């Protein structure tokens, strides 16, 4: 049998019959001439356009942030037998779930109280009561992690009173845990929501549990969309012989082995461990900006040692490990020291390709701090740093980081700006490489600057989130990804020339 040639969208619409069709269709579109489109396209690349673009303050265009409840849901997924419950309209949950599905390629189960017009008028109490009853009957969680979306926040639903009432009515068992967090989408971003939910769960579960010290170390990852990081931190802690509790461990929730069954709950942090977290000797927090309130609360209420340090890049990891060693009294083992040596060796091997390369970066504040610091270590030059959800503290931290290295001299940080601003920057002050999430690929298309995918969400490449970016192992992954993107690009751009080398 002659094999069938089947053309899908990627080839089909480049066939002449379709190109002719598109041409015919233009007659009905009342569209500008090609010359006019070209003229405007060129204009958008100018400094004049950049200035107009930067003068805008009432509209965001291609911003790099999501909303609070998404982060709250993500946080809730890491706890044992926990059902995320959103007091709000049902469309929100549908969106959060699909957004996470697309990044992790994993199922995400969460419910909403399906608030509609009547709830807008009478309040959402009935929705919550019935929602809790139905959700418990169907999905039998030990804990419902409750958070809010816009409607509940705007009308002012009282989560404390509603959960109490539901319990009194007996629609859920008396021992069902119902921590909650207010997570309005018009405040902060997904990283704020993660923070609020974490604080909500910890303060609720540890209330009155202060007792015998358990000698363990708590770990809080922050809004870290790399499942590989969860496994990596646990590996590092095990190598250091530290007893730990990862608070919200999503490593199975969002990267579960396929065993032919669809287990509803895969959060690895047990309820008991969480309750006992207040009795740990220390807490290490791997992100700063996504844990501000949680850390503030813990520092006030939990009598233990704290380390807030992000281990992305060599020096950050060095400091993280020595800090960890200090607060736990455990030595850094030779195995980790060997890993360090190997990564440094790799960085030295790759440095000629990265040295002096100019980078644009866009993403969450914590990620940006990490990426900039490893670029500086490699001799790369961060130039445009756009952080839609960064605040002034972040900007100051970033400026200090840039100032710490001669390679940071041309770096400028832009908070509350978006990827359309970045587009202007990349046209008027071009760079060699771009670091960002999948949505940043439009910048690649428009400016032809190769995109190195780091951050959240990553929808258009598979499995990247399964590899760590923290620790020495993570540094190796980052370096490998960056240098090989540069080499791929070098091959692509020299394919017709003598520079198409086999050895790089």
Partner 1 sequence: MSRAIEETQKMIDEVLDVYPEKTRKDRAKHVKPNDPTGSCANCQVKANVKSRPGVMTVRGCAYAGAKGVVWGPVKDQITISHGPIGCGQYSWWSRRNYYNGQTGIDTFGTMHITTDFQEKDIVYGGDKNLDAALDELKELFPLANGIGILSECPVGLIGDDIEAVAKKKSKEFNGMPIVPCRCEGFRGVSQSLGHHIANDNIKDYVLGKGTLEKQTPYDVALIGDYNIGGDAWASRKILEEMGLRVIAQYTGDASVNEIGIAHKAKLNLIHCYRSMNYICRHMEEEYGTPWTEFNFFGPTKIYESIRKIASYFDDSIKEKAEAVIAKYRPKMDEIIAHFRPRLEGKKVMLYVGGLRPRHTIGAYEDLGMEIVASGYEFAHNDDYKRTYPEMKEGALIMDDATEYELEEFTHRVRPDLVGAGIKEKYTYHKLGVPFRQMHSWDYSGPYHGFDGFAVFARDMDATINSPTWNLIRRKKSA
DSSP state of 27: G
Q: Does 111 bind partner 1 (CB under 8 A)?
A: yes
N residues, the chain: 504
> 385: part of which helix (H) or strand (E)?
strand 381-387
For partner 1, give the closer residue by CB, 30 or 498.
Answer: 30
Q: Does 105 bind partner 1 (CB under 8 A)?
A: yes
Q: How far is CA 419 from the centre of its chain?
A: 16
Number of residues that bind partner 1 (CB under 8 A): 106
Cβ-based neighbour number of residue 315 at 10 Å:
14
Question: Which one of residues 74, 85, 359, 472 is an interface residue with partner 1 (CB under 8 A)?
Answer: 85
Catalytic hit among 150, 246, 308, 431 = 150
Q: Does 32 bind partner 1 (CB under 8 A)?
A: yes
Q: How far is CA 501 from the centre of its chain?
A: 37
d(CA 234, CA 62): 35
Q: Does 81 bind partner 1 (CB under 8 A)?
A: no
In the complex, what is the shortest distance from the CB of residue 51 to partner 1, in angstroms, rounded to a whole number?
A: 11
Furthest C-alpha separation in the chain? 78
Determine the 3-state secondary structure of 359 from DSSP.
strand
Q: Of 276, 275, 268, 230, whose CA–CA distance to 81 is shortest?
A: 268
Question: Which one of residues 73, 135, 176, 201 is an interface residue with partner 1 (CB under 8 A)?
Answer: 135
For partner 1, give the closer residue by CB, 254 or 354.
Answer: 254
| Binding residues for partner 1 restricted to 424-453, rule: CB under 8 A | 439, 442, 445-446
Active site residue 308: no
d(CA 399, CA 374): 15
Tell me if 166 sits within 8 A of 129, measured CB to CB.
yes
Q: Does 155 bind partner 1 (CB under 8 A)?
A: yes
Question: Which one of residues 81, 123, 133, 325 is an interface residue with partner 1 (CB under 8 A)?
Answer: 133
For partner 1, give the closer residue by CB, 429 or 446.
Answer: 446
- CA triplet 191, 148, 263: central angle to 5 degrees? 80
Any idea which residue has 């996470």 for tokens? 100
In the complex, what is the shortest distance from the CB of residue 133 to partner 1, in angstroms, rounded to a whole number?
A: 5
Segment 41-45 long-range contacts (CB within 8 Å, at least 24 positions apart): 44/423, 44/424, 44/427, 45/427, 45/428
d(CA 226, CA 207): 30
Q: Does 169 bind partner 1 (CB under 8 A)?
A: no
| Binding residues for partner 1 restricted to 270-329, rule: CB under 8 A | none
| Binding residues for partner 1 restricted to 170-209, rule: CB under 8 A | 184-187, 189
In the complex, what is the shortest distance from the CB of residue 501 to partner 1, in angstroms, rounded to a whole number?
A: 34
In the complex, what is the shortest distance from the CB of residue 79 to partner 1, in angstroms, rounded to a whole number?
A: 18
Q: Tell me the three-class secondary structure of 399-466, residue by residue.
A: HHHHHCCHHHCCCEEEECCCHHHHHHHHHHCCCCEEEECHHHHHHHHHHCCCEEECCCCCCCCCCHHH
Cβ-based neighbour number of residue 293 at 10 Å:
16
State the burial class of residue 103 (Cβ atoms within 10 Å of its Cβ: 0-12, 13-18, 19+): buried
Question: Which one of residues 14, 40, 238, 352 is an interface residue with partner 1 (CB under 8 A)?
Answer: 40
Q: Does 18 bind partner 1 (CB under 8 A)?
A: yes
For partner 1, give the closer residue by CB, 164 or 209.
Answer: 164
In the complex, what is the shortest distance from the CB of residue 464 to partner 1, in angstroms, rounded to a whole number?
A: 16
For partner 1, give the closer residue by CB, 132 or 372.
Answer: 132
For partner 1, give the closer residue by CB, 36 or 272.
Answer: 36
Q: Does 12 bind partner 1 (CB under 8 A)?
A: yes
Catalytic hit among 31, 37, 154, 187 = 154
Q: Does 392 bind partner 1 (CB under 8 A)?
A: no
In the complex, what is the shortest distance from the CB of residue 492 to partner 1, in angstroms, rounded to a whole number?
A: 23
Q: Does 259 bind partner 1 (CB under 8 A)?
A: yes
Question: Which one of residues 127, 218, 310, 317 is an interface residue with partner 1 (CB under 8 A)?
Answer: 127
Question: Which one of residues 77, 119, 178, 402 is an interface residue with partner 1 (CB under 8 A)?
Answer: 119
Active site residue 150: yes
Q: Does 70 bind partner 1 (CB under 8 A)?
A: yes
Q: Does 357 bind partner 1 (CB under 8 A)?
A: no
d(CA 321, CA 426): 37
For partner 1, give the closer residue by CB, 102 or 209.
Answer: 102
Q: Does 115 bind partner 1 (CB under 8 A)?
A: yes
Q: Of 113, 20, 24, whose CA–CA distance to 69 is shortest?
A: 113
Bond preceding residue 110 cis, omega within 30 of 0: no
Residues acting as catalytic residues: 150, 154
């Amino acid at each position: 049998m002659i094999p069938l040639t089947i053309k899908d969208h990627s080839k089909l619409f480049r066939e002449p019959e379709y190109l002719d069709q598109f041409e015919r269709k233009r007659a009905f579109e009342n569209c500008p001439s090609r010359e006019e489109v070209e003229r405007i396209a060129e204009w958008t690349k100018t400094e004049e356009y950049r200035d107009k673009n930067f003068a805008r303050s009432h509209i965001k265009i291609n911003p790099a942030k999501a909303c609070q409840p998404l982060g709250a849901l993500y946080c809730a997924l890491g706890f044992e037998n926990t059902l995320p419950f959103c007091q709000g309209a049902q469309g929100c949950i549908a969106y959060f779930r699909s957004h996470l599905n697309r990044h992790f390629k994993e199922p995400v189960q969460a419910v909403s109280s399906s608030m509609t017009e009547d709830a807008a008028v009478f309040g959402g109490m009935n929705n919550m009561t019935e929602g809790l009853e139905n959700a418990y009957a169907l999905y039998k969680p030990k804990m419902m992690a409750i958070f809010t979306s816009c409607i509940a926040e705007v009308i002012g639903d009282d989560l404390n009173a509603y959960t109490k009432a539901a319990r009194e009515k007996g629609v859920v068992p008396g021992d069902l845990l119902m921590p909650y967090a207010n997570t309005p989408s018009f405040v902060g971003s997904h990283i704020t929501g993660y923070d609020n939910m974490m604080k909500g769960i910890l303060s609720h579960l540890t209330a009155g549990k202060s007792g015998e010290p358990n000698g363990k170390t708590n770990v809080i990852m922050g809004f870290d969309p790399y499942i590989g990081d969860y496994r990596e931190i646990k590996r590092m802690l095990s190598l250091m012989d530290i007893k730990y509790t990862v608070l919200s461990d999503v490593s199975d929730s969002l990267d579960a082995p396929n065993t032919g069954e669809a287990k509803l709950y895969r959060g690895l942090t047990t309820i008991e461990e969480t309750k006992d977290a207040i009795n740990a000797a220390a807490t290490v927090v791997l992100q700063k900006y996504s844990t501000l309130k949680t850390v503030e609360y813990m520092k006030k209420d939990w009598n233990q040692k704290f380390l807030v340090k992000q281990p992305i890049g060599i020096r950050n990891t060095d400091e993280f490990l020595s800090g960890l060693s200090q607060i736990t009294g455990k030595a850094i083992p030779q195995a980790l020291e060997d890993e360090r040596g190997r990564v440094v060796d790799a960085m030295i091997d790759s440095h000629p390709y990265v040295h002096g390369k100019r980078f644009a970066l866009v993403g969450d504040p914590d990620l940006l701090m990490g990426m900039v610091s490893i670029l500086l270590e490699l001799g790369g030059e961060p130039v445009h740093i756009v952080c839609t959800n960064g605040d002034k503290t972040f900007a100051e931290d970033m400026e200090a980081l840039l100032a710490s290295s001669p390679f940071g001299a041309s770096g400028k940080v832009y908070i509350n700006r978006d990827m359309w601003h970045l587009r202007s920057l990349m046209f008027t002050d071009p760079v060699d490489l771009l670091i960002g999430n999948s949505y940043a690929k439009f910048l690649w298309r428009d400016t032809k600057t190769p995109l190195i995918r780091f951050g959240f969400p990553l929808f258009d490449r598979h499995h990247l989130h399964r590899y760590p970016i923290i620790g020495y192992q993570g540094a190796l992954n980052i370096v490998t990804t960056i240098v090989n993107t540069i080499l791929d690009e070098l091959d692509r751009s020299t394919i017709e020339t003598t520079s198409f080398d086999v050895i790089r």
